[in-house]
Chain A
Amino acid sequence: MRFFEYEAREIVKRAGIPVTDYGFTTDAAEAKTIAERIGGPTVIKSQVLTGGRMKAGGVKFADTPEEASQHAADILELEINGHWPRGVLVDPKAEVKQEYYAGVVWDGTAKKPLMLFSDMGGIDIEQVAEEHPDHVGRGHFSPLQPFSDYQAKQVIAAAGVTGKALQRATPILARLARLFLENDMLLAEINPLAELHDGTFVALDAHMEMEDEGMVRQKGLIKALGIAPEEGTREGHTPTPFEEAVKAIDAADHRGVIQGKDTGFHGNIGLVIGAGGGSLTLTDAVRQQGGKPANYSEIGGNPSVAKACGLAKEVLNKDGVEKIAVMMSIVSNTRVDIVARGVIKACLELGKDPGETIAIFRIPGAWEEEGFKILDKYGIEYCDRSVSLWDAAGRAVAKIQGEAA
């Protein structure tokens, strides 16, 4: 789950990390009130879940409350990379002596969280790591043992930072490391972390991402941030009607799992495929043989006839889809006969001939004899495990696109 900057700052603040006296609003008049309270130059920042807002004009500087209000009005009307802002953040313009970077991510190879710290803040950390490796400190920490501040200190010292700055930054990175684990984050980043002229440190921007799997036990935090459950995981894209429909069918009963995606797919080959790895393999196989899939899908576990039928219907209802290919890698949990019944039912309910509409059925495995009997009855072309995933996909491409061409 992704967070807006104003939420990420709130998370940082709750962990005891100093932040500026900012305010969040969806209203230009209120932006003025916030700027008046701050009393001095401010920065108005668009609150969007996308990068590049500085370049797009989503960050502006104001000297007076009136100017802050005007900028807020403009930014609230500014679409950035297809995203409308949730609101604006009115932030005091800080007089910065030095910018730092503090971040925590997962290292999948080491299987541990990894702290990163640099005295070259304000820019992309990957770029700093590439160009100035001696300015980046790194250190893993245990997900099992209690965290101790010296671990953060080592990382900051390794970036070449010493003196007062080292002492001030240590508790900040330590708190960031703790909040990362405690809040099931995938990414917790303060960039820039600013050292002001009086030597104090303050977070000027924060970026947080929570693991979807952790959301169940982070309900309290999500609620405290004022995030409605309907917002879900805030995926990178808005679900299409097809994606919404498949999700609803899946949620209707608990047997098996179906998924469907069509964002980025523009072809006419309807894919009713599974399971996880099989779907990836089959989508590649269709495309590599010149086929243009209309969608991606996954059948997993042992779905009911209704679920398999629902998925097939949604695929067939997509614009330009006349035929579907029903294919899976060898199944041991999913029942071949149940999927066969489901896809046939979908054709019949839509007034289509199953033998014409199902270009190929390649699902070998559990209950295949029963499944093949039903497929025979409707004159559907099917094959067993002796026909590879590649060849099955090839037949689908030839039958569906060969005719169209």
Chain B
Amino acid sequence: MSILIDENTTFIIQGITGREAVNLTRECLDYGSKIVGGVTPGRKGREVHGVPVFDTIEQVIEHNGGAIPDGSVVTVPPAGTRDAVFEALAAGIKTIVIVTERIPRRDVAAMVEYADQQGARIIGPNCLGLIVPGVAKMGGIGGPAKNAEQAYQPGSVGVMSRSGGMTTEISSTLTAAGLGVSTAVSIGGDAIIGSTYAELMPYFEADPQTEAIVIYTEPGGRMEAQLSAWVKENNSRLPIIAFMAGKFMDDEEMQGMSFGHAGTIVEGKEDSATEKIARLQEAGIPVVERIDEIPDLVKAKIAERSAA
């Protein structure tokens, strides 16, 4: 099992003729994902690695005999992202991965609200998507199929990360330790994102393959406090282990600066690494100092839960 996508998931790529989208299409197809069409306005009739390109999502659906794709990977430039996502939501697409960076918060918030109304879920923006090892990937996560295979092997740990690259680094560590990954989600590095840790927890909770969760976190925002509250309110069966990067940003000389991702801007005391670590630990979520400590701790926590 997995969360959000499985071996039957169909999706489209919006902005499919862009340079990075062409690579992403190749990678996903090689990995076994089912891409049922692409959209770039004005490019109808082309093909990208055998995937037919259309002007509108309506045309994709017509081409597929009325079947609505399950998902969409949105790679269009920031100024056009809101419209592209609205088109996908209006068409009835339920899982949307937004790769695009630098989208203003106003647009992100509007897309999220519309998605809520449509019963759809947005992953990102500014993310690499998600991967179910050995089954499918939706987005650039893990890179070319052969690289993705090396870092991601099927297993028992769910991964959620605000950094796309660190999703792979952590998953590779879990794979090397023989634990493997159930589903890994690059949730995005912006201040407002479609799906936070706490919002994805119920999906992992319902996935029998997942036995533990690892999260990668950064300064900025209140997402970790939200997860801590969720853990306290829900008697989750899943142990969670966290890694916090960017502790150096707590230094006085770094105040007001943002590093790494747009979302790391610290807008209040609660957003700092120190405060976040305290919040997580208070909720019983251990925060490790090093990535290479994660596998042993995951194993210990899983053993603890099964003994209880």
Which residues of A pack against B, CB within 8 Å?
A: 106, 108-109, 111-113, 126, 142-144, 181, 184, 186, 211, 213-214, 216-217, 236-237, 261, 263-264, 274-281, 283-285, 287-288, 296, 298, 328-333, 365-366, 385-386, 388-391
Contacts and interface: CB of A to CB of B under 8 A. Distances in A.
A109 B109 contact: no
Contacts of B112: 111
A281 B166 contact: yes
Contacts of A106: 105, 109, 191-192
B232 interface: no
Contact of A278 (B142, B169, B196, B256): B169
A142 B291 contact: no
A181 B162 CA distance: 26
Chain A, interface SS category: mixed
Contacts of A279: 259-260
Interface string B237-267: 0000001011111010110110111101000
Contacts of A277: 161-166, 169, 189, 216, 218, 245, 260-261
A278 B103 contact: no
A285 B253 contact: no
B150 to A, nearest CB: 8
B223 A213 contact: no
Contact of B251 (A211, A264, A285): A264
Contacts of A298: 260
A213 B104 contact: yes
A186 B256 CA distance: 14
A75 B243 CA distance: 48
Contacts of B256: 236-237
Contacts of A365: 143, 147, 168
Given A298-B260, A391-B292, A280 B218 contact: yes
A366 B221 CA distance: 32
Given A108-B192, A329-B166, 20 more contacts: A113-B109, A184-B104, A213-B105, A214-B104, A214-B105, A217-B104, A261-B257, A275-B165, A276-B189, A277-B260, A278-B166, A280-B264, A281-B243, A284-B245, A329-B165, A332-B144, A365-B147, A365-B168, A366-B143, A390-B292
A276 to B, nearest CB: 4
A112 B143 contact: no
Interface magnitude class on chain B: 35 or more
Contact of A276 (B113, B257, B261): B261
30 contacts: A106-B105, A109-B225, A111-B109, A111-B113, A113-B109, A126-B268, A142-B113, A143-B106, A184-B104, A186-B105, A213-B105, A214-B105, A217-B79, A236-B256, A237-B257, A261-B259, A264-B257, A275-B164, A276-B260, A277-B165, A277-B189, A280-B248, A281-B243, A288-B289, A329-B165, A329-B166, A332-B140, A332-B141, A333-B143, A386-B176
A306 B7 CA distance: 42
Q: Which of A111, A287, A366 has the most CB of B within 10 A?
A: A111
A332 B168 contact: yes
Contacts of B189: 276-277
A332 B143 contact: yes
B166 A366 contact: no
A142 B168 CA distance: 36
A388 B288 CA distance: 14
B299 interface: no
Contacts of B262: 213
Contact of A216 (B79, B113, B151, B259): B79
B63 interface: no
A404 to B, nearest CB: 21
A389 B104 CA distance: 33
Contact of A285 (B166, B168, B290): B290
B278 interface: no
Nearest to B246: A280
A320 to B, nearest CB: 17
